[in-house]
């Protein structure tokens, strides 16, 4: 008989969700409608295969590593230590965004409730809709110098290719975390590796790399302070379904002499 997967649910949920989980999983529930205290969350996720959490639950590095991540696989999980696997909170931090398009705007709106002190951004110009989340326009130099967490959301072009390089990292805080959701080529990976191994910056999270997929022998994959995901920022059924719908709708529109949604117009210089 196959061993059942262990799942922890951080709140009481409607029966339809329970009915799906219980036949094939060993499910443990936090039997309350109130948010689970941090200490109980850390205690209950030990050894589980999955966590069904709520929007109000703080699922961070510490929680994930308490649930069977690398610390467990590598035999590093022992008695509790107050200084082990500590991260940083979002409160009173300066969150920087490079490129305030639709993605950058969406990131800013979602990050605001986490209690950041400031949201700063840099783009080709100051943008009025940044007032929706209290965003402050800053020059690029100030963006890299002042950000505690810096999220790259811009596209790649000749001006942004390897924009984040050795000189840029040297201007950042040694405690800074950089996240790339744009394109892999915006960061010089060799310079990033040097910055991470020399404590020039604290950590990096990459959803995009150069090349993709990143070779298995790439030195960035050896680092504990660099998390790399396989370009999965749009990996939801809702997103993929809508992408398929838009593509189909555009075909019908163009075939009927209409204009496609999301049309990109390029200005041709004389």
For residue 3, report the phi and psi dihedrals to the nearest 5 degrees.
-70, 135
Distance CA 163, CA 109 (A): 25
Domain ranges of the chain: 5-73, 94-228
Percent of the chain with pLDDT over 70: 88
pTM: 0.65
231 is catalytic: yes
Six token digits for residue 241: 């379904």
CATH number for the domain formed by residue range(s) 5-73: 3.40.50.720
Confidence band (pLDDT; 50, 70, 90) for 270? very low
SS3 category, 38? helix
Same fold, 5-73 and 94-228: yes
- Sign of the CA dihedral with 216 first, then 220, 222, and 228 last: negative
Which superfamily, per CATH, for 94-228?
NAD(P)-binding Rossmann-like Domain (3.40.50.720)
| Catalytic residue of the set 122, 162, 218, 231 | 231
Distance in angstroms (rounded) separating the CA atoms of residues 60 and 62? 6
- pLDDT of res. 234: 75
Q: Measured between alpha carbons, how far is residue 120 from residues 78, 126, 205 in Å?
A: 40, 11, 19
Q: Average pLDDT in the 168-183 region?
A: 96
Which of 48-52, 90-94, 147-151 shows the lowest per-residue confidence on average (mean pLDDT)? 48-52
Give tens-digit pLDDT for 107-131: 999 999 999 999 999 999 999 999 9
Handedness of CA 177, 40, 109, 186 (dihedral sign): positive
């Amino acid at each position: 008989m196959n061993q059942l997967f262990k799942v922890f649910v951080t709140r009481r949920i409607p029966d339809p969700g329970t009915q799906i989980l219980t036949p094939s999983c060993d499910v443990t529930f936090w039997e309350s409608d109130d948010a689970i205290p941090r200490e109980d969350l850390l205690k209950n996720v030990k050894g589980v295969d999955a966590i069904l959490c709520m929007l109000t639950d703080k699922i961070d590095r510490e929680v994930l590593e308490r649930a069977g991540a690398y610390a467990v696989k590598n035999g590093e999980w022992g008695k509790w230590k107050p200084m082990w696997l500590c991260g940083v909170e979002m409160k009173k931090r300066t969150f920087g965004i490079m490129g305030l398009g639709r993605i950058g705007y969406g990131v800013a709106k979602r990050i605001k409730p986490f209690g950041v002190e400031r949201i700063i951004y840099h783009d080709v110009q100051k943008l009025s809709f940044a007032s929706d989340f209290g965003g402050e326009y800053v020059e690029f130099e100030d963006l890299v110098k002042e950000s505690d967490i810096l999220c790259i959301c811009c596209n790649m072009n000749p001006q942004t290719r390897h924009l984040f390089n050795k000189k840029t990292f040297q201007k950042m805080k040694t405690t800074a975390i950089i996240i790339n959701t744009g394109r892999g080529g915006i960061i010089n990976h060799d310079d990033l590796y040097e910055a991470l191994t020399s404590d020039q910056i604290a950590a990096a999270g990459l959803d995009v790399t150069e090349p993709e997929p990143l070779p298995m022998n790439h030195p960035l994959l050896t680092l504990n302070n660099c998390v790399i995901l396989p370009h999965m920022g749009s990996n939801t059924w809702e997103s993929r379904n809508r992408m398929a719908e838009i593509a189909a709708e555009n075909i019908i529109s163009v075939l009927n002499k209409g204009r496609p949604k999301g049309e990109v117009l390029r200005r041709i210089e004389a």
